[in-house]
Chains A and B, each alone.
Chain A
Amino acid sequence: MALNDDDKAVIAAVQAGLPLVERPYAAIAEELGMTEDQLILTLSRLVDQGQIKRFGVVVRHHELGYRANAMVVWDVPDEQVAAAAAAMVETQLVSLCYRRPRRPGWPYNLFCMLHGRSREETLGKLATLRLQPELAELSCEVLFSTRRFKQRGARYHEKGEEA
């Protein structure tokens, strides 16, 4: 599944976003000196292999009115992490759910994100999460964001960036 040079060139070419033209893949392919079909096949393979998780829009939740965004961190007994995560994802209320290491003074090992248009709405979603039996007894903390300094996608294989 290693990336070849063509894969890297394709990744670099599409990451800024697709052009808003009728045949966006043809436009990118032309820049790359490949055919539209070759580009479509390469992208489809990168999706199938999982290097591209999904193709679509990146929504800025703040601009959509979702301004009460909280990272909720949970202290879950190690053997219950998978069950707790499954219960969380099942509610369809969280946008992310990751297991991360505990740290000294930081007992939390399961992280999720909740978004709401108000703090009440976000905390209401947390209350709904806590109705899940797998989550009800766990201790958690809510870290609302107060300022966003930077939000951009990660960038890969940009020319010149490796120097």
Chain B
Amino acid sequence: MDALDKAIVNQLQGGFPITDRPYAEVAETLGIPEAELLARLESLLSRGILSRFGPMYHAERLGGSLILTAMQVPSEDYERVAEIVNAMPEIAHNYEREHVLNMWFVVATETPEAAQAALDAIAEKTGYPVYPMPKLKEFFVGLRLEA
């Protein structure tokens, strides 16, 4: 990434206008032509530095469910369990972490019932208990990572 890519990433983490010519507005703020911004964004997306360009939803306000869940998986069985969990469309993120609870994933579904069904299915298919850790209160989401 060069300086302009970084400026674009940093600028856009602050939000995006919902107006008829949003890219033109952002380009003007950055002092570059609209066509250059579009080309740069295409490149940033294709290189995987940006994963998506659009809305971040509030799952619960859409009637959906988003549950952080932990599991304790023996290392010799980790790959099998990871494969099962990763293959499920309800799983949005899955990370291995250094702890006794060593697998942490997010179950994202359109309804709470579907989330419970996914948690039940994982416990049944893997043979290990799952520990849902639902959000009780959100104090903060979002961070600008300086590119």
Interface, chain A (partner B; CB < 8 A): 1, 3, 11, 14-18, 20-26, 36, 40, 43-44, 46-47, 49-61, 63-64, 66, 71, 81-82, 85-86, 88-89, 92, 94-101, 103, 106, 111, 113, 115, 141, 143-157, 161-162
Contacts and interface: CB of A to CB of B under 8 A. Distances in A.
Q: Report, nearest first, the 5 A-B pairs whose CB atoms are least far apart.
A: A154-B108, A95-B143, A85-B139, A147-B96, A149-B94
Contacts of B22: 18, 24-25
Nearest to A51: B61
Contacts, number: 235
Given A46-B55, A81-B137, 11 more contacts: A3-B62, A47-B18, A55-B18, A60-B50, A97-B139, A99-B138, A99-B139, A115-B143, A143-B98, A145-B97, A148-B94
A85 B139 CA distance: 7
Contact of B51 (A52, A58, A86, A106): A58
Nearest to A151: B93
Contact of B12 (A50, A56, A144): A56
